[in-house]
Chains A and B, each alone.
Chain A
């Protein structure tokens, strides 16, 4: 099994790498569209600004490679910015995104007492069973750092929710694609468990 972690210059991939190494995964971190297309599984992480990230994905051909890989039906995991960019568009700089899942990334509404970015640990409530959450306790918390959140159009695409200002979708899944707004690679043992679940998916 060959896992490709997509490197498109959006943030530091070190913690994803160390977590995968800890899990003894066979993986490569690559900016080469060929490595994405040929992979058995793809992890699409990222921290940063949506428009800049989309510009890089277009310029490098990685965006097209991700769409091709996705059509092949193999497992794809988006993390953080990756969970927003798989949608149709983002409110951040009003950016057209990859469109792999119908939906929009939205900015948290302003409300006194709620600081944005949403940064720290928060509970992730599963909305329906999904292999990603196998063995993850219902009261588990994950580490978040973000100002925008994914909002898939279809209710059935929302697999977990978290409360901050409003209840928002913190994990989504459609066919072979799943994506999480939080950082499983920085979420302790439950996060490692989730990454392990993804590595075990077919």
Chain B
């Protein structure tokens, strides 16, 4: 049985992770490579790096991070943020990333999904989508871009389906309403999108405790769940979350 994936998300700026973290053991908490290794050893099924580097000149740094991560962890990892061309995609894939994630760039230029999928394979191309609750939209959710600052005229469900048709191999659905609340994932949106798609849907935004992952896997049928602060601040370990879910009969990877 295909297992539910737990994906740890790290925000990286200029080769440092940005969110505060509270590890007590000997982990350099600012170093993305060290942190990736830490979560790999805790049993994370996948790691996502979001490159939030402000300037284009510093983008190359992310390539070095990828190369170092690839030498250190032997599970899939992906990179998102700032990839605006297939050349950008190729660089991180050749550095060892398994997948690349496009978000605002794909809304501005949907062709990048198609181009990326034909060059590197659909399994490499992830659509990141930020959705905002909006009763005026047909599905009830509106696509927003640039970190949630800019509203688009796209409907979330319609855009997800279009991205799948263009060649996206996976969708990360990030709820702007739930993000940062720690009160649980946006279950209705996740379920709506997941049931409509033929590709895996990763839920993102709102995770605060293991129960939230249980809900999003069972009630919203997510294929994978993204977590960040609940492990970055040392509240839980990945192992604790997996134990909790495995005890409730969810298929999880428990040997690593």
Listed in ascending order, the chain A residues whose CB lies under 8 Å from chain B are 11-12, 14-15, 18-19, 21-22, 47-48, 115-123, 137, 139-141, 143, 145, 163-164, 185-192
Contact = CB atoms under 8 A, between A and B. Distances in A.
A139 B123 contact: no
Contact of A143 (B76, B169, B224): B76
A188 B75 contact: yes
Given A189-B74, A192-B74, A119 B253 contact: no
Contacts of B155: none
Of the listed residues B1, B2, B76, B93, the one surrounded by the most CB atoms of chain A closer than 10 A to its CB is B2
Contacts of B75: 143, 186-188
Contacts of A187: 74-75
A192 to B, nearest CB: 6
Contacts of A141: 3, 253-255
A119 B123 contact: yes
Given A143-B76, A192-B74, A120 B2 contact: yes
Contacts of B21: none
Query: Binding site of A, secondary structure by majority: helix, strand, loop or mixed?
Result: mixed
21 contacts: A12-B93, A14-B95, A15-B70, A15-B74, A18-B70, A19-B74, A22-B71, A115-B197, A115-B223, A120-B2, A121-B5, A122-B1, A122-B3, A123-B3, A141-B255, A143-B76, A164-B2, A186-B75, A186-B98, A188-B40, A188-B256
A120 B1 contact: no
Given A11-B121, A15-B74, A188-B256, 15 more contacts: A12-B120, A14-B95, A18-B70, A21-B71, A117-B122, A117-B123, A119-B123, A120-B3, A121-B3, A121-B45, A121-B253, A122-B1, A141-B253, A164-B2, A187-B74
Contacts of B255: 137, 139-141, 190
Contacts of A48: 121
Interface of B: 1-3, 5, 40, 45, 70-71, 74-76, 93-96, 98, 120-123, 169-170, 197-200, 223-224, 253-256
Contacts of B256: 188-190
A137 B198 CA distance: 32
A174 B94 CA distance: 33
A120 B223 contact: yes
Contacts of B169: 117, 119
A191 B253 CA distance: 13
Contacts of B254: 139, 141
A149 B222 CA distance: 24
B93 to A, nearest CB: 6
Contacts of A12: 93-94, 120
Given A118-B2, A191-B74, A14 B224 contact: no
Nearest to A136: B255
A115 B200 contact: yes
Nearest to A114: B2
B142 to A, nearest CB: 25
A85 to B, nearest CB: 16
Contacts of A14: 70, 93-96
Contacts of B3: 120-123, 141
Contacts of A189: 74, 256
Nearest to A191: B74
